[in-house]
Amino acid sequence: MQVYTFSTKNRVVATLAALVVLGAGAALLLVGFALLAGVAIAGGVLGAGVLAVRALRGERKASLRTPSAGSALDPSREVFPEQPRIGQPQPNDDPRRIGPE
């Protein structure tokens, strides 16, 4: 397998190469931030457009459905964990546990 190395005895060339690598990294970072900002701006414009269309049509209520009366939570069906008793050690039935019982 071939191994490629970059070495130079000239400090100016090495410094320029380092600056080029750092500049390329900074350029990629800025492009990424610009794409992220573009997505955020496009989402804001799209959301504002949807709100404007709904306002023009007179649909001001929320599009999310409210739960019906039959789907309400029933307190009698709640499950609560058993409360541990303080002062009474429970035996360890887990075979994977290492240590005193």
Tens of pLDDT along the chain (101 residues)? Answer: 888 887 778 889 889 999 999 999 999 999 999 999 999 999 999 999 998 998 898 876 666 666 666 667 777 878 887 777 776 666 666 667 776 65
Q: 92 and 101 in contact (C-beta within 8 Å)? A: yes
Residue 44's pLDDT is what?
Answer: 97
Residue 98's pLDDT is what?
Answer: 72
Q: Give pTM, 2 decimals.
A: 0.47
Residue 69 is given by DSSP the state G
Q: What residues have CB less than 8 Å from 14, skipping those under 6 apart? A: 8
Residue 65's pLDDT is what?
Answer: 65
Residue 63 to residue 40: CA distance in whole angstroms: 22
Q: What residues have CB less than 8 Å from 51, skipping those under 6 apart? A: none
Encoded amino acid at 14, one letter: A
